[in-house]
A and B are shown apart, each in its own frame.
Chain A
């Protein structure tokens, strides 16, 4: 029977059932990595200094959850304002009006060129530069005078710092998206009699989105963690709220683990949201098979799959 199978395998009109190439070093590398992972896991479980019981106790602590909420709030507000500013400055930068283009360029240059930490502290201390802020006609009468010290609360300083900084980065991302749309699309829109703003909204930006979304998701995830910088303004966001706790009980590591777990969870959720948004802006994509189906097939029929590809 064995010779029969072998002969059948050699018939050129039968499906090819070749023996896959052996790759011994792949197995060595896999074993090595698995051993290292096992070591790490064991130490995490057996090393009592991790103090997992403290991690568990503070994970759902009220002030930690409030901190998490504040972090999410700052991330959301800063990203929304940042994206709006980004679109505005990207369009300005592409304008044929030199003054607008240079102003946008200057904005991007300044806010990307100075550290965010400096910007945050700067906004917090704005009252040293402008003790009062006046509302009125430029070079004309004033309607209201506001005290900068009461106006610029830590919250406002935090939002200003994060959003203006984000706006500079988003402007470059949006600009990259806009220039990625082929010129023919603009000409086609023009030939239909569409105005410039209509073309921007209906033709350019929806297509630019495909280029804009991935790095924006990246930035949102970065913002989630960067927002921990506002702890210098004594805003009790996630990091500062665990700092307050470990300042009291000296359990630094367990509480940093608590913060890290929440950051990781929030990041994972943002990643999933990003995937959803990407799909929304590619209505013409190949639907493909759902991830679950692909995973199951890869796990259960690896060998069959390998042969299929040859």
Chain B
């Protein structure tokens, strides 16, 4: 197994607000990492750094052996140009808390947009792949529905299909079920479990401890911009070593 994501001493601050204070972690291919922690702990910010939606201020981040956002030549670090950044992002799928489907396109159009525009796939090939993905997330009947005709759970499943359509090496999930009504959470988690068992490499920011326990290979607990502890999810959830983890888990479990 090769390492797909590696972070070394990643710092991020907005002005004086120090959000990430040195994050070190690595994730092997095919593994699922769940990031948990109280709000404001920096877990979403870290996730957004991984596909360069946020730029990091210190440290290094690699995905698939490539430095994210920069190119190192000798001692100098060069910013990647827009095209190179787009290329890196195209290989990393992202699913957002608020779905962010494009409201003026149908479910199918949302899914084929990336492949057609960015990867220059033919419309026929992209459509065939998109239909297959939408059926896989249980939305074969909703191909031509606009997002405002879909429930939150259905929208989030379209968003997952949209990210998968780019055939990403890595999938990032930013609290994918937090905006959903309780009865819709299950259908989205089911899709994510399916992806995990198919061997997709995933980083999931979540408050769903049950999901972390079943589907996660690693659980990383973050608080105040640092990793407090990490390890096998069953182990960490059953016997948290650090007092901050214990305090957090006693509130959410």
Contacts and interface: CB of A to CB of B under 8 A. Distances in A.
A184 B96 contact: yes
Interface size class of B (residues with CB under 8 A): 20 to 34
B146 A283 contact: yes
A196 interface: yes
Nearest to A201: B117
Contacts of B53: 187, 190-191
Contact of A196 (B82, B104, B117, B147): B82
A192 interface: yes
A207 B103 contact: yes
B90 A192 contact: yes
A199 to B, nearest CB: 10
A265 interface: no
B83 A195 contact: yes
A190 B146 contact: no
B149 A284 contact: yes
A193 interface: yes
Interface size class of A (residues with CB under 8 A): 20 to 34
Nearest to A206: B104
Interface string A172-194: 00000000001011011111111
A166 B91 CA distance: 43
B159 to A, nearest CB: 8
Contact of B104 (A187, A188, A195, A283): A283
Contacts of A193: 86-91, 114, 118, 166
B166 A192 contact: yes
B225 interface: no
B32 interface: no
Contacts of A207: 102-104
Contacts of A206: 104
Interface of A: 182, 184-185, 187-196, 198, 202-203, 206-207, 281-284
14 contacts: A184-B96, A185-B102, A188-B94, A188-B100, A188-B101, A188-B102, A191-B93, A192-B89, A193-B89, A194-B117, A195-B82, A198-B117, A198-B118, A207-B103
Given A190-B86, A192-B114, A193-B89, 13 more contacts: A185-B100, A188-B159, A191-B51, A191-B53, A191-B92, A192-B163, A192-B166, A194-B86, A194-B117, A195-B82, A195-B83, A282-B104, A284-B147
